[in-house]
Amino acid sequence: MQSLNFAFRFINACFSLALKHKRLRNPWLILWMGGVAILVLGMIPFVAVIILVGMTQLSVALIGLFSILLLFAVLAWGEVSASETCQAFFYTLNQAEEIAPETEIPGPEFVRWQDVFMWFLIQPGLAVIRLFKKIFQGEKGNQEAWLTASYLTVPVIRIENLSQVEAVERVKQIFKDHLLRVHLDLVGVRPVAGMIQWLFILVGGVLGLWVGRIIADPVTGGVLSRMLGIALGILLAGVLALLGIFFSSFTRACYYTSLYQWVLNVESARRSGETSQGAPPAILSRVMGKPKPNKKE
C-alpha cells in the first residue's frame, strides 16, 4: 500500500510540474496529434475490408488482425513520445534543482526515435528470456539479470543520445556498478500506470464494439452504415486507448527519468567523494518523505 501511496503522490507532483512548465506539456500534444493521425490512417484497411470483402468470417478475422496492429502502432507511438517526455522532464528537474542554469530548452527533436522503437519491439522477447533463465538458472550467474534496470534504457537513449545497443551497454554498466539505490516498484508508478492504461484500452474496445453494432448491424446493415459504424467505433476505442496510453507513457517516463537522474547523482558523488551529491532528486525525496540534504553541508 505504501508503494501505491508513493505512486499517486509522484503522479500528482508530475502533473503539477507539467502545469508550470510548458516544455513538459509539449509531448502531450505530440502524442495526441500523432495518435489521432494513426487512428485516421488506421481506418483505411477496415473500410477496405468492408467494401471489398463484406461481412464474412474472413473479414471478421481481418478486422481483428487490423485492430491488434492498430493498437500496437498506438502503443509504439506512446513509447516514442515518452522519449521526448524523458528529455523535457530531465531538463525540468535540473532547472528546478538549480543543477543547470535557466536556459531556453530546445523543442522536441525526435532524436533516436528509431532506437526507441527498436527497444519497444525487443522488450517482450527479452522479458521471456529473462523469465526462463531465472527459472532454470536463478539470479546468480544469470546474464540477463540487468533487465531489472532495463527501464532506464529509453532515458539513456534520449538524454545521452546513444543508440539502442550503446544504451543497453550503458544500462548494464549502471547495473554492474550498483548505481541503483531503490527497487523499481518502491514507488509503484509502473503498476498504477499499467492498470490505468489497460483499463482504458479494454473499456474503449468494449464501447467501440458496442457503438459500432448499434449504428450498423453486421449482418443486415448496408455498406455505408457499416463503414460509419466501424469508423466511429475505432474513433471511440482509439481516443479512450490514447487517454490510457498518454497517462501511462507520461508518468512512467517521468518516473524512469527521475531514477536516471538519481543514478547520475550517485555517479557524481562517487567521483567527487561528496556523499550529499548522491541524494535522490527533490521530487522523489518529497514523495518518499526524505528531506534532501543541504547542498552547503
Total-model pTM: 0.87
Q: What does the pLDDT read at residue 291? A: 52
In a domain, 23, yes or no: yes
Give the residue-averaged pLDDT of 58-67: 89
Q: What does the pLDDT read at residue 109? A: 61
C-alpha 277/C-alpha 258 separation (Å) is 15
* Eight-class DSSP state of 98: T
C-alpha 140/C-alpha 30 separation (Å) is 42
What is the span of the domain harbouring residue 271? 2-109+189-288
In a domain, 168, yes or no: no
Name the domain count of the chain: 1
Q: Tens of pLDDT along 129-185?
A: 777 776 766 555 556 668 788 899 999 999 999 999 999 999 999 998 888 888 888
Residue 293 · residue 279 · CB < 8 Å? yes
In a domain, 164, yes or no: no
**pLDDT over 60 at 97, yes or no:** no
**pLDDT over 90 at 274, yes or no:** no
In a domain, 297, yes or no: no
Q: Tens of pLDDT along 155-165?
A: 999 999 999 99
Q: What does the pLDDT read at residue 84? A: 92
Q: How confident is the model at residue 36 (pLDDT cuts 50, 70, 90)?
A: very high
**pLDDT over 50 at 103, yes or no:** no
Residue 238 has a CB neighbour count (10 Å cut-off) of 25
* Greatest mean pLDDT range, 41-50, 123-132, 223-232: 41-50
In a domain, 74, yes or no: yes
In a domain, 67, yes or no: yes
Residue 182 · residue 266 · CB < 8 Å? no
Three-class HEC string of 196-208: HHHHHHHHHHHHH
**pLDDT over 80 at 292, yes or no:** no
Q: Tens of pLDDT along 1-35?
A: 788 999 999 999 999 999 988 888 989 999 999 99
Grid cell digits, residue 181 = 539505490
State how far the alpha carbon of 225 is from the alpha carbons of 50, 70, 214, 232, 284, in Å. Answer: 10, 22, 10, 11, 52
In a domain, 166, yes or no: no
